[in-house]
Structure 1
Amino acid sequence: MRFDRQKLSWALYDWANSAFATTVMAGFFPLFFKQYWQAGAEAGLSSFRLGLANSSAALLVAVMAPILGAVADRTARKKRFLAGFAALGMLMTGALFCVAQGQWWLALGLYIGASVGFLAGNIFYDALLPEVAADHELDRTSALGFALGYLGGGLLFAFNVLMLLQPAWFGLADATEAVPWAFVSVSLWWALFSLPLWWLVDEPAAPYRETRWAAIRAGLRQLRRTLGELPQQPAVLYFLLAYWLYIDGVNTVVVMAVDYGMALGLAQQSLISALLLTQFVGFPAALLFGRLGDRFGPKAGIFVAIAIYMAVTVAASLLRNEAQFYGLAVAIGLVQGGVQSLSRSLYARLLPRDRAAEYFSFYGVLGKFAAILGPLLVGAVSYLSGSPRLSILSILLLFAAGAWCLGRVDLEAARRTR
């Protein structure tokens, strides 16, 4: 399959916003929060506050996404909603530059705002996938987005790690001064590489001509109608339940990995380097999973990824040193992009194309509800038990239950009823 201008422009948004996921969510924010904004606080308390912040952002998105998705479908404003939330994320990320030492409450407030922009924007970005790719192109197009996300996010993360390790090369006094500039670089990177999507990706005209308030009322009616229809769509329901369960573990690994490593006493530089390694392993691995989806179907690829994640979870509970952390980073890099890209393309096969934003809002909401439970559970178990090793094992049941539900998704039956 050859990628045309629209597919490449759409996929470049993954390159743009993945810098937030890598440098901010997975990398520097947990590190800086624990060592600078929360300096002197007990480790379990800072982990709990970070988990609560991630859960709060996810809850805000979960509450508003279905209504906004229904309105976006009726008004053909997926790109406009995406632009608004992306701008929120960019501005809040850049504003972290101004947070002084000890102002953990302000840092968390800005982080929540930036995370809302990132998470909500992705709902409308995902909803554009059926607009730029036909059914037979979904797996590879989705995989291209995640692959570029790993590469783009990894490149900026590598630059930011270099700033952290060699601040004098950039005219900075020390690593503490470098981190706020890393947040600024993410904001600028996100803005610059979003431009091709705004300029080159077409969105079909709205099938309705309505005022803003009429669109909101009609969107609410449409949302109620869709919720009533879902029980008659077992493939959609089983997939959403499966996704909710297994992506909980995936999201927890993403947002809590550095915090977990620090709680075990691993070296800061090793944790950051391992995250960087994950990014560059993830680039070819995501493309490979796209081909796997083409040949064997997206369900088979997701099953492989879940099995590897379960093995990684057990291994993480036995983690002893930095070398083992590097090994787990490679294993995660091999499957993280694959499970995300194939989940997106499998779901796109199940939904009505003219209601993509609304249906992807359910997909996004369940992913965010999963992100509410996972980080909060890991943080709370760590705080109450004093054992981060015990807390990480709590997600095994979610992976297993997700795999069982995924096995009940009948893709062929869903295609006949679309």
Structure 2
Amino acid sequence: MNRTSIYSWALYDWANSAYATTVMAGFFPIFFKEYFSVSAEVTTSTAQLGFANALSSLIIVTLAPLLGAIADAGGMKKHFLYLFSYLGVLMTACLALVSEGAWELAALLYVGSNIGFMGANVFYDALLPSVSEEKSFDTVSGLGFALGYLGGGVLFAINVWMVQSPQSFGLADTTQAVQASFISVAVWWALFSLPLLFFVKEERRHMISKNALTVVKDGYRRLARTFRNIAGFKGLVLFLIAYWLYIDGVGTVIRMAVDYGMSIGFESNDLILALLIVQFVGFPATLAFSKLADFWGTKNALLFAIGFYLVILVLAVMMTEVHEFYMLAVMIALVQGGIQALSRSYYASMIPKGYAAEFFGFYNFLGKFAAIFGPLLLAVVALVTEDSRAAIASIAVFFILGALLLMKVDAGQTAREVRETLR
């Protein structure tokens, strides 16, 4: 393995996690309500932001499998990664130029930045087999997520400082500080993605003899073949369904933790601090989790993480004090990066190199599609029971079902079946 390629690949996680932390999880939802959609009712601005998130996810869900197939057929993973990532960079920077009350333009730019962020991740994941041997997938995948937590946390901490003390940075007020934060994310994302461009090599033999139209046709043919064949790989199907279930639970915890904390009376400053805790504890924890997988086996480590999430949900239901919220933030940080990294590497171990982008298109498809059902179940339970604690407890069903299916997966046997069929 080439260490330069590995670290250059992993640095992309450092680069784009600034967007996930500062924009998606941190400032944009608050700024959208208080500035871009300032004249709208609270419920109206929530719906506007919800539609923007849904639209960007729907576009990526629709395009990811096809783009993955085309990228594999043409050897163009890096091309597509930079096409999407710099779309995200441009749209994020443009958010700083949107005036107060212009929620339509802000939502449109946010959709574009989200598409760039999620679309690039399809091809970033698919490059894992290009930089690592199979036996090191867990370690290399974990390194990427760990650097993502650290990089996202470093810039987010700086951005929080900017917003809380804008004059220290020569900024007039909080509004200007948030706008500067959007620009800082764009610069950070663009700058730290460059090592992947220069030092990660991708096999491009198809590009020598095939024109663009042929590459697109190959992409459609490969996509159709994947749809036909994937149902025949029992182990792969079981894993994908298991992943779809438990990652829905993980995603719901990520998306709804702040809302849940607010619903039981915690202050917004406490929630921001908890988010910072997750970022910085998540860095060493993700690295440690990959070592656990080396010692214990990837599937066993994943099952442990799922069980740990069930414990977190039980404690969340009983939580009453803010110090308990901080404790849960630490617990989430211990396993959140690990379960994401090991899921990616476990899946990568079952698929052939030449189909990485195509198969990761399906993987990301399920990840994006899963984001719908957990929050939906939580909302329905909350409406029926009028109890936010019962609502958060309902998410346990995703972890339990996911674990039961994951137990039935044999990665080695599945890898042999897939490679023998698709060689």
Do the aligned residues in 2 keep the contact of 1:281 with 1:334 (CA within 8 Å)?
A: yes
For 1:38-85, what per-residue CA distance to the aligned partner results, in whole angstroms no more than 9, with x for missing partners? 447555554444344323222110101111101100110000000000
1:195 maps to a residue whose letter is: L
The correspondence of residues 9-408 of structure 1 with structure 2, limited to 5 A, is 9-39=8-38, 43-207=42-206, 209-378=209-378, 388-408=388-408
Separation in structure 2 between the aligned mates of residue 12 and residue 353 of structure 1, nearest angstrom: 21
> 255-264 vs 244-253, which deviates more?
255-264
Distance 2:392 2:173 in 1: 33
Query: Residues of 1 paired with 2:242 and 2:78: CA distance?
Result: 28
Query: What secondary structure does 1:232 align onto?
Result: coil
Q: Distance in 1 between matches of 2:311 and 2:288?
A: 20
Residue 389 of structure 1, CA deviation: 3.9
CA distance in 2, matches of 1:386, 1:37: 31
Q: Which amino acid aligns with 2:205?
A: A
1:318 deviation in Å? 4.2
In 2, Cα distance between equivalents of 1:318 and 1:92: 41
CA distance in structure 1 between the partners assigned to 2:156 and 2:394 by the alignment:
29
**SS of equivalent residue, structure 1 residue 183:** helix
CA contact (8 A) 1:74 1:206 kept: no
Q: Give SS of 1:118's match.
A: helix
- Greater displacement, 50-59 / 13-22: 50-59
Cα distance in 2 for partners of 1:205, 1:47 equals 45
| CA distance in 2: counterparts of 1:303 and 1:43, whole angstroms | 40
Unaligned stretches of 5+ in structure 1?
A: none
> What is the Cα deviation at residue 213 of structure 1?
1.9
- Equivalent residues of 2:134, 2:349 under 8 A apart: yes
Structure 1 pair 396–185 and aligned structure 2 pair: CA distance change class (3 A) = same
* C-alpha spacing 1:177/1:278, structure 2 compared with 1 (3 Å): same
**Does the CA-based 8 Å contact 1:30-1:259 persist in structure 2?**
no
Q: Distance in 2 between matches of 1:388 and 1:35?
A: 25
Q: When the two structures are aligned, how many residues end up with a matched partner?
A: 417
Distance 1:91 1:379 in 2: 34
| Alpha carbons of structure 1 residues 83 and 415: separation in structure 2 relative to 1, 3 Å | same
What is the rounded CA distance, in whole Å, between the counterparts of 1:138 and 1:301 in structure 2?
14
CA shift for structure 1 position 97: 1.0
Alpha-carbon displacement from aligned partner over 1:105-161 (angstroms, at most 9, x marks no partner) = 332222221111111110100000001100111110000001111111110011011
How far is 1:272 from its partner? Answer: 1.0
Greater mean deviation of Cα atoms: 160-169 or 139-148:
160-169
CA distance in 2 between partners of 1:115 and 1:377 (Å): 24
Where relative contact order (Cα < 8 A, 6+ residues apart) is larger, the structure is 1
Structure 2 gap ranges (5+): none
Q: Cα–Cα, structure 1 residues 248 and 45, in superposed 2: closer, same or farther, change >3 Å?
A: farther
Q: Please state how far the C-alpha of 1:412 moved relative to its aligned partner.
A: 2.4
Counterpart-to-counterpart distance in 1, 2:391 and 2:32 = 21
Q: Distance in 2 between matches of 1:317 and 1:107?
A: 36
Q: CA 1:58–1:382 in structure 2 vs 1: closer, same or farther (change >3 Å)?
A: farther
Tell me the distance in 2 between the aligned counterparts of 1:275 and 1:321. 17
Provide the alpha-carbon RMSD of the alignment.
Answer: 2.1
Deviations 1:305-351 (A, max 9, x none): 11122222343344434322211211111111000100010000001
Query: Which range is displaced more, 104-113 or 83-92?
Result: 104-113
Q: 1:379 to 1:112 in 2, by over 3 A?
A: farther
Is the 8 Å Cα contact of residues 67 and 223 (structure 1) preserved in structure 2? yes
Deviates more, 1:48-57 or 1:301-310: 48-57
CA contact (8 A) 1:54 1:372 kept: no
For residues 309 and 39 of structure 2, the distance between their equivalents in structure 1, rounded to whole angstroms, comes to: 34
Q: Quick one: distance in 1 between partners of 2:100 and 2:385?
A: 29
Distance 1:286 1:156, change over 3 A: same
Higher mean alpha-carbon deviation, 14-23 vs 50-59, is at: 50-59
Contact 1:285 1:333 in 2 (8 A): yes
* 8 Å Cα contact 2:5/2:131 also seen in 1: yes
Percent identity, aligned pairs only?
Answer: 50
